[in-house]
Amino acid sequence: MGAIAMNSDTSAKIIDGKAVAKQIREEIAADISRMKEAIGVVPGLAVILVGSRKDSQTYVRNKKKACEGVGITSHEVHLPEDCTEEEVLRHISYFNSDPSVHGILVQLPLPRHMNEEKILNNVCIEKDVDGFHPLNIGRLAMQGREPLFVPCTPKGCMELLHRYGVEVKGKRAVVIGRSNIVGMPASLLLQRQNATISIVHSYTRNPEEITRQADIVISAAGVANLVRGSWIKPGAIVIDVGINPVDTDSTWAMPMMVVLANARLITPIGSGCLEQIDICYVRPFN
């Protein structure tokens, strides 16, 4: 069982991401304190932000706060929208060779004039805390291999399942969305734990029928109100990390109240799910 007990009844239970984040934060802080005392090393995370997107600024600010909360040193570089690709690569090269920096994160998305693949591939694999380097993704996909880092959002989803005592082995899981950041690595992580996986995407026929077969649903589609209550079979576990901006607000991919009627566990808007995911960025330094 995970660290957080589940109710024995079949009514829906809200997943408390804030409680999970608090647990993880305390565990990491204790590990870092022991490491500092034993070998005198304080982990360092470098974050490179290009441009002035408000959502990206918020994500970077939250990651900095997560670092400060557990004793990790954060280094932040904020470059203008019109900076050159070479400037970004120069900062990556500097942090690659800086022994006080143990992880490098390039905040996505990057401006359109930049080659995202080239930039991410230049991050040293040993410091690729986002887990986006092809070698890390390749290791994640291969049996008998272990990636040095795993993309944070899907890792956070798996952490929620674990801490709520959800058995993944042998279950049927559906991942809605197939992005490199969430959907694809989430499906690989579920497969590693011996779930049977289906991926629903924009070209999937009968997505409702496929999703309704799932014991576990991870939605990362980023389309507001995509998933309806009829998509969720009774007793399913539902994790929704697909945020879509509607006007000035962020709206989940699922209308919570209609899904709540069927789900056994669900992550609601504002539950702290994303706070829990932010703290997973600093977990690799354990």
Nearest to 174 by CA among 136, 221, 225: 221
Overall average pLDDT of the 81-97 stretch: 98
Can you give the pLDDT at residue 71? 93
pLDDT of residue 250 exceeding 80: no
pTM: 0.86
pLDDT of residue 286 exceeding 60: no
Overall average pLDDT of the 154-175 stretch: 95
Please give the sequence-ordered ranges of beta strands (E in DSSP) within the chain, or none if there are none: 13-14, 44-50, 73-79, 103-106, 172-176, 196-200, 216-219, 237-240, 243-246, 249-252, 265-266
pLDDT tens digits, one per residue of 203-238:
999 999 999 999 999 998 877 778 888 899 999 999
Give the tokens for residue 21.
């984040």
Q: Which range, of 13-27, 110-124, 269-283, averages the lowest pLDDT?
A: 269-283
What is the radius of gyration, based on Cα positions, of the chain? 19
pLDDT of residue 259 exceeding 70: no
Nearest to 278 by CA among 80, 70, 99: 70
Q: With cut-offs at 50, 70 and 90, classify the pLDDT of residue 163.
A: very high
- Which residues, 6 or more positions from 5, have their beta carbon under 8 angstroms from its beta carbon? 165
d(CA 83, CA 273): 33
State the Cα angle at 286 between 3 and 190, rounded to 5°. 55
pLDDT of residue 285 exceeding 60: no
- Which residues, 6 or more positions from 21, have their beta carbon under 8 angstroms from its beta carbon? 272, 275, 276, 278, 279
Can you give the pLDDT at residue 223? 75
d(CA 199, CA 150): 19
d(CA 165, CA 119): 38
Other beta carbons within 10 angstroms of residue 7's beta carbon come to 10
pLDDT of residue 272 exceeding 50: no
Report the percentage of the chain scoring pLDDT > 70.
83
Can you give the pLDDT at residue 10? 44
253, 240 Cβ separation under 8 angstroms = yes
- Mean pLDDT computed over every residue of the chain: 86
Query: What domains does the chain contain, in order, with CATH numbers?
Result: 41-126 (3.40.50.10860), 149-274 (3.40.50.720)
267, 15 Cβ separation under 8 angstroms = yes
151, 179 Cβ separation under 8 angstroms = no
pLDDT tens digits, one per residue of 18-65:
888 889 889 999 999 999 999 999 999 999 999 999 988 988 998 888
Amino acid identity of 232? Answer: I
Catalytic residues: 63, 107, 130
